[in-house]
Chains A and B, each alone.
Chain A
Amino acid sequence: MSGTMNLTLKVWRQKNKNDKGAFATYQVKDISPDMSFLEMFDVLNEQLISKGETPIAFDHDCREGICGMCSMYINGRPHGPLKGVTTCQLHMRSFHDGDTIVVEPWRAQAFPVIKDLVVDRSSFDRIIASGGFVSVNTGNTKDANNILIGKEDADEAFSAAACIGCGACVAACKNASAMLFVSAKISQLAMLPQGDPERKRRAENMVETMDEEGFGSCTNTGACSAECPKEISLEHIARMNREYFGAKFTSQNVK
């Protein structure tokens, strides 16, 4: 591996949700290319603590790209420059000595800032609570192999279910739309026989909650899918639209 690097970081600092917030500039030295982006932030935070300053708050947990907790907007892109990679799996070898890196939180009305780079994504949970499930109580089941699901359908459902709920799609969208996130769940369950009985209610309820939470409209730009760390396909949005319109045309519960 090549030598270490010195970098300039411009990081969004905001004390709490009521604070206006501003960028602050920091220097970090001797960063190894083998470090992850978050480990570089650990180094910066240690520096700040030793100087008696407040470390930068950022969300992170598994650091293996699966929990969906990390959420930095790096140089104008959610999760940084690489395709199909979360911030925690982004490594410093993707940067160069002398670079200036700008780091912001997710910006969306439905994701208010809690502190610095940490935002509130509980709107996603509320969307799932409104229909992102199969209504089956524990124990009400039959033998798993009694439900046959063709491999293609199972694979397609899995590719939608791979969504980690990080919110990069919303952050990437100029309208802060949550269509990719919502469609991933609707599409997964629409592909499977288990999801069939509730498919109309699900599509209607989840879309309604999405709108209530203040997410924007979809204009089919495709930035969501391009920036998605799990590369969730736009096809799911198409399938969701089909599900939604189908439900609306025949809906029994028009509100």
Chain B
Amino acid sequence: MKLDAKIPEGPLESKWTKYRSKVPLVNPANKRNLEVIVVGSGLAGSSAAASLAEMGYKVKVFCFQDSPRRAHSIAAQGGINAAKNYQNDGDSVYRLFYDTIKGGDYRAREANVYRLAEVSVNIIDQCVAQGVPFAREYGGLLKNRSFGGTQVKRTFYAAGQTGQQLLLGAYSALQRQIGMGNVQMFARHEMLDVVVIDGKARGIIARDLVTGNLERHFGHAVLLCTGGYGNVFYLSTNAMGSNVTAAWKAHRKGAFFANPCFTQIHPTCIPVSGDHQSKLTLMSESLRNDGRIWVPKKAGDTRHPNDIPEEERDYYLERRYPAFGNLVPRDVASRAAKERCDAGFGVGNSKQAVYLDFKSNLINKYGRAEAAKLGIQNPSMEKLIALGKEVVKEEYGNLFDMYKQITGEDPYEVPMRIYPAVHYTMGGLWVDYNLMTTIPGLYALGEANFSDHGANRLGASALMQGLADGYFVIPYTIGAYLSSEIKTKAIPTDHPAFEEAEKNVKSTINQLFSIKGSKSVDYFHKRLGKIMWDKCGMARNEKGLISAIDEIRALRAEFWKEVRVPGSADEFNPELEKAGRVADFLELGELMCVDALDRKESCGGHFREEYEEDGEALRDDDNYKYVAAWEYKENTQWNLNKEDLVYENITIAKRSYK
């Protein structure tokens, strides 16, 4: 199949404006007869549902949590990027576009990313209008901070809870539409299949998680806003319930899955403390603004960090990447931490950690500035620390509390111990410029699609993309499809395609119960996670990937013979939910390895040990400058379709942060 990204003609700067003005419209009377299903209620889902309902469409929203406000966007910490140039530091739409393409290691689509940068400014306006309490200066203007992979301050934030505040903004817009009767909300519902009729997405099968009933829902279009698939690794910063099921069911029905191997390993997470670990917790990238990362210069140094003098510390990011220092992009920072730990310089009990130290900025940057403001001459060290602490508390207070709660150590006194962990997935369902997948009428928004971040996402860009897709892209692009659907009457859900889809869902559920094996779902999930982390994690190689594929196949076979799902299907049954999700992860894991094996280059989050130069990723633009869009065949066989990436506005270069 030839992939058509449907990128509008014309110069980059005017593609979106022109397209937006020419895209077919649906008149208000017709909108009322058009139904849109939105699966997922995070930033992308809530913002899309609210905006489409405001426009007059009939919307149904589904989420597996007990309320749309719980979606994992809520946990995003550091901030959201926008090319406002409020700081007068040289930012522009073009610079945000350029940073994002470069940050993604030249594996993203130019037109999509430019549009993202363009609408970024509207997002901030929208959120402020909703009452999102961003951080402000005394004069009442908005405040910014910097993030990795950029040299300007363009990140808007609300302490370390930016995702929460943005999601609550979108959630309140959604609740308003629910209250007005324009959106029907289905919380504690999980989508278990997409219904395709005559080649078009026409609805979904959902399970009411409280009663266990299977439901059929029709929609003229279906939007998957279901997030990423990082939980394939078992341990990740994702929420416990985050899963790939909706996207995977769509994939099995014909939606191509793009760049599945592009996984973001975030450099600053709290290290694993033991086998009981159920998830990992991020410490925001924004902390790298004020924290300096180091390890002892001597391998195996067991001294307390506060006893190691300055000259015996190796600030390895500042040493290796003087231009960006501690603010190199995530993939670079993660690999550098792994390199130091593998070489024996790791710290803490596990030796799988590095220090993130705030002491020097606490004293020198904030303490001294505050002392100067207050006119304190020759402040004592204690005074400086106390003053600095106040500022840091305001910027990141909740993060410091969280760290202390989890580790039992006070990061104001002792440097944080951090280690990389799975955080975000750049890969996802392939979409065209309209955000439509290869199934007509089926869209993917936010982290669930692959479109904007290439092989590595820059910090504070996930929130930007989720809201861009939901507030400002889909409301326009969906018209291109729905304008041709105005004559389609709602299809009754006793249509054979609905019957068939529901029958399949039911039979999978019955099969899971019938196994009555001896091992829990978590047992399999943990084993899958270990295979993925060891062989398809921060560093990959041919031998490892080939063996991972065999191991995953064997594990999948064992799962379908040995898993035990307690209880029954007609009740609230979290083990059944998990079983279905892990079954899908067991297929996705294989595809990720297949994709990683195919991509014989290193780029962004995908680091193949065979392709490196002085420890830096070695890209191969001649052979791999494409999006790998995988088409599902039967029995976990895939066909590779390539979308060639064309760079007309950016000169591709070696990505350097030195």
Contacts and interface: CB of A to CB of B under 8 A. Distances in A.
Contact of B68 (A38, A125, A164): A125
Interface residues of A, number: 81
Nearest to A148: B140
Interface string A106-141: 000000001100101110111011101111111111
B179 interface: yes
A133 B66 contact: no
Interface stretch (B90-98, B374-382, B398-406, B418-426): B398-406
B187 A129 contact: no
Contacts of A118: 572
A197 B366 CA distance: 39
Interface in A62-83: 62-69, 82
Contact of A195 (B72, B131, B273): B131
Contact of A141 (B128, B165, B179, B241): B128
B75 A66 contact: yes
A214 interface: no
Contacts of A16: 571-572
Interface in A50-103: 50, 52-55, 57, 59-69, 82, 84-85, 89, 91, 93
B405 A91 contact: yes
Interface in B118-145: 122, 124-142
A188 B133 contact: yes
Contact of B136 (A32, A137, A150): A150
A165 B210 contact: no
A35 B219 CA distance: 44
A34 B402 contact: no
Interface string A6-37: 00000000011000000000000000101110
Contacts of B518: 50
B352 to A, nearest CB: 15
Interface string B464-477: 00000001100100
B10 to A, nearest CB: 23
Interface centre among B136, B137, B158 (most CB of A within 10 A): B136
Contact of B276 (A42, A130, A139): A42
Contacts of B171: 128
Contacts of A161: 132-133, 158, 165, 168
A46 B520 contact: yes
A130 B177 CA distance: 10
A157 interface: yes
Contact of A130 (B65, B179, B273, B566): B179
Nearest to A194: B131
A68 B69 contact: yes
Given A62-B239, A154-B135, A145 B141 contact: yes
Nearest to B183: A129
Nearest to B136: A154
A65 B401 CA distance: 11
Contact of B133 (A46, A49, A50, A157): A157
B615 interface: no
A101 B564 CA distance: 28
Contact of B240 (A60, A68, A122): A60
Nearest to B273: A34
Interface in B547-586: 564, 566-567, 571-572, 574-575
Contact of A35 (B172, B175, B276, B405): B276
Interface string A133-172: 1111111111111011111001101100110110000000
A124 B67 contact: yes
A192 interface: yes
A65 B77 CA distance: 12
Given A35-B276, A69-B70, A121-B67, A133 B522 contact: no
B125 A35 contact: no
A48 B127 CA distance: 46
B277 interface: yes
Residue in B122, B405, B472, B566 whose Cβ sees the most chain A Cβ within 10 Å: B405
A189 interface: yes
Contacts of B575: 49, 55
Contact of A54 (B165, B279, B567): B567
Given A52-B566, A137-B54, A128 B131 contact: no
A213 B520 CA distance: 39
A32 B138 CA distance: 46
B51 interface: yes
A39 interface: yes
A128 B172 contact: yes
B74 interface: yes
Contact of A49 (B84, B402, B566): B566
A149 B129 CA distance: 12
B159 interface: yes
Interface in B165-187: 165, 168, 171-173, 175-176, 178-179, 185, 187
A64 B66 CA distance: 17
A114 B211 CA distance: 10
B86 interface: yes
Contacts of B47: 138
B492 interface: no
A115 B573 CA distance: 9
B161 interface: yes
A106 to B, nearest CB: 12
B387 interface: no
Given A89-B402, A133-B172, A141-B122, A69 B572 contact: no
B408 interface: yes
Contact of B161 (A38, A66, A140): A66
B274 interface: yes
B164 A66 contact: yes
Contacts of A35: 274, 276
Given A154-B135, A165-B67, A148 B405 contact: no
Contact of A133 (B176, B240, B401, B566): B176
A46 B274 contact: no
A121 B133 contact: no
Contact of B571 (A46, A89, A115): A115
Contacts of A192: 131, 133
A61 B596 CA distance: 30
A236 to B, nearest CB: 14
Contacts of B139: 148
Contacts of B572: 16, 57, 114-115, 118
A132 B84 contact: no
A13 B347 CA distance: 43
A38 B373 CA distance: 45
Contacts of A149: 136, 140
B406 A91 contact: yes
16 contacts: A1-B408, A49-B575, A55-B566, A63-B279, A67-B75, A125-B178, A133-B130, A133-B175, A134-B129, A134-B172, A135-B176, A150-B136, A150-B138, A154-B134, A161-B168, A194-B128
Closest 6 CB pairs of A and B: A148-B140, A129-B179, A133-B172, A158-B133, A141-B125, A144-B128
Given A35-B276, A132-B175, A139-B472, 11 more contacts: A66-B163, A68-B69, A89-B406, A114-B572, A125-B68, A136-B129, A138-B47, A144-B129, A145-B142, A148-B141, A154-B140
